[in-house]
A and B are shown apart, each in its own frame.
Chain A
Amino acid sequence: MAATEILLAGFGGQGVLFAGKILAYCGLMDSKELTWLPSYGPEMRGGTANCSVCISDEPIGSPLVLAPDILIAMNQPSFDKFVNDVKSGGKVFYDSTLIESECTRTDIEIFPIPSSQLADDNGLKGGSNIILLGKVIKETGIFTLDTMKKGIEKVVPPSKAHLIENNFKAIELGMNN
């Protein structure tokens, strides 16, 4: 199997790198080869942040995702910037609370989910990123819910262990919406 290349993008602070890390740990849990590469520098501090994740059964070449199989967009500039880079046959997931899609491509599948709104309505402030991941695993099958939960347990630091349940809730919200 060729690598599944995932690009996550949004504002700094929306949890783009964190969500990418969960996907990376899911790959680790499933004994896959994987790479996680963040954008770094000033853009992380309030500007746009993005993060490349590659998951594969074989060693991974370039870790930089230029043409994603899966795009996860959390703000309008990221959506506009990357939607045309998605591989033909690829899948796009975006937060429809914050993003209006004017994409006319017919060779990709687009999955809007009002993840910010869902997060707010369910007392999961800041959980929009994880809700999107729930949608991703439901529509792509790249990881099981079980793997995803293990990934979350790995990434959430022990000092914030009380947030694990909320993350589980967010994943399930994403899967069911």
Chain B
Amino acid sequence: MERNLMKGNEAIAEAAIRAGCKCFFGYPITPQTELAAYMAKRMHKAGGVFLQAESEIAAINMVLGAASTGVRAMTSSSSPGLSLKSEGISYIAGSDVPAVIINVQRGGPGLGGIQPSQADYWQATKALGHGDFHLLVFAPASVQEMVDMVVKAFDKADEYRMPAMILADGLLGQMMEPVSFPEINPDAHDKNGWAANGHGNKREHHIINSLYLKPDELENSVTERFARYDMIKEKETDAELYLTEDCDILLCAFGATARVVKSAVNEARMQGIKAGMFRPKTLWPFPVKEINKASENARMLLSVEMSMGQMIDDIKLAINCSKPVGFYGRTGGVIPTPAEVLAEIKKAGGAE
């Protein structure tokens, strides 16, 4: 397959177009700007719509509208922009509409900074908006995975009729790596059963709505959605297990941080320390089976994040607090170094 050299942001955009995304609505923000710029350049040639909205709030509501008609629609932003989009994302979830949302994270809270961060883990996995809902959250660690996960996100969003997110960060968005584009079938899912795509007086109206004034009806809709979530938790988890079989200390990291951790794990192994790495590729659903398998023989776990430690709770819940879980992190846009992580492994008494 042909190898191209692309920035993560551009690769996401190209992958989305190839996956049949026909509508992109966005509002500029560093460090995801190249994504929207690429869409602006390419989308109309691919027969789609690129529109720079007047705000993030407008953009996400345009996604809701477009996706309601059954076309593949996407928006992208970075951390502060996601907060603005959160209301619309809740509406998308409540309306059972598939859509793909990209977050190229930067430091927060507030306007924060523009350097890479993973401090939106809680937001993405626990509460990206009000109400009882989840979205699928994919965490790529390379430019190639950004491509593969965008394609998957569109597919799974269609399959389960729910929003899916790519949770990336400024480092992945800005870096270039070789990347290949797989064959994609964008029309795998028939949406005629629900999409508001014109009834031509031949069928009943399809109504896309998230308002239920009768509590029992609302409860039913939520319960039905959670039955779907249970299925997703069963079927859709994904993780990379690296040198975990004999590991004494299991490092847990996702996204760009996992690359730093992998370098540290390799160095630790060279020094005779039995370190391994668990890297969730789906953050929701969290790969519970996979982390239990990875940590089977480990004495302790160490979560490494570009935040103050937002994944620790999920790790503890997943292993039912059966082993100690340590933490090392940098935040605000500071990227941890392999040397720092190695020092933490040693401090934790990583054994030979």
Contact = CB atoms under 8 A, between A and B. Distances in A.
Interface string B1-24: 001010000000000000000000
B171 to A, nearest CB: 7
A18 to B, nearest CB: 12
Contacts of B285: none
A17 B272 CA distance: 38
Interface string B170-214: 110011111000000000000000000000000000000000000
B142 to A, nearest CB: 8
Contacts of A41: 30-31, 114-115
A36 B176 contact: yes
Interface residues of B, number: 22
Nearest to A40: B174
A62 B174 contact: no
Given A24-B176, A61-B338, A40 B31 contact: yes
B263 A37 contact: no
Nearest to A33: B178
Nearest to A31: B3
Interface string A60-73: 11111010000000
Contacts of B260: 61-62, 64
Given A40-B31, A40-B114, A35 B176 contact: yes
A43 to B, nearest CB: 11
A25 interface: yes
A110 interface: no
B3 A28 contact: yes
Contacts of A66: 337, 339
Contacts of B170: 40
Contacts of A36: 5, 175-177
A16 to B, nearest CB: 14
Nearest to B262: A61
Interface string A89-115: 000000000000000000000000000
Interface in B110-129: 114-115
Nearest to B337: A66
Interface string B317-352: 000000000000000000101110000000000000
B30 A40 contact: yes
A28 B266 CA distance: 24
Contacts of B5: 24-25, 28, 34, 36, 154
A38 B177 CA distance: 12
B269 interface: no
Given A24-B5, A25-B5, A38 B262 contact: no
Classify the secondary structure of A's interface with B: mixed
Interface in A1-60: 21, 24-25, 28, 31, 33-38, 40-41, 60
A28 B115 contact: no
A63 B171 contact: yes
Nearest to B341: A62
Contacts of A154: 5
Contacts of B337: 62, 64, 66
Interface in A85-139: none
B178 A61 contact: no
B42 interface: no
A58 to B, nearest CB: 10
A62 B170 CA distance: 14
Contacts of A38: 174
Nearest to A39: B174
Contacts of A25: 5
B259 A62 contact: yes
B255 to A, nearest CB: 12
A66 B263 CA distance: 13
Contacts of B114: 40-41
A61 B268 CA distance: 14
A35 B259 CA distance: 12
B162 to A, nearest CB: 32
B171 A28 contact: no
A59 B9 CA distance: 20
B338 A62 contact: yes
6 contacts: A24-B176, A61-B259, A61-B260, A61-B263, A64-B260, A66-B337
Given A41-B30, A41-B31, 10 more contacts: A33-B178, A35-B176, A36-B5, A36-B177, A40-B31, A63-B259, A64-B260, A66-B337, A66-B339, A154-B5
Interface of B: 3, 5, 30-31, 114-115, 170-171, 174-178, 259-260, 262-263, 266, 335, 337-339
List of 9 A-B pairs having minimum Cβ-Cβ separation, nearest first: A61-B263, A36-B176, A37-B175, A62-B260, A61-B262, A62-B263, A61-B259, A41-B114, A28-B5
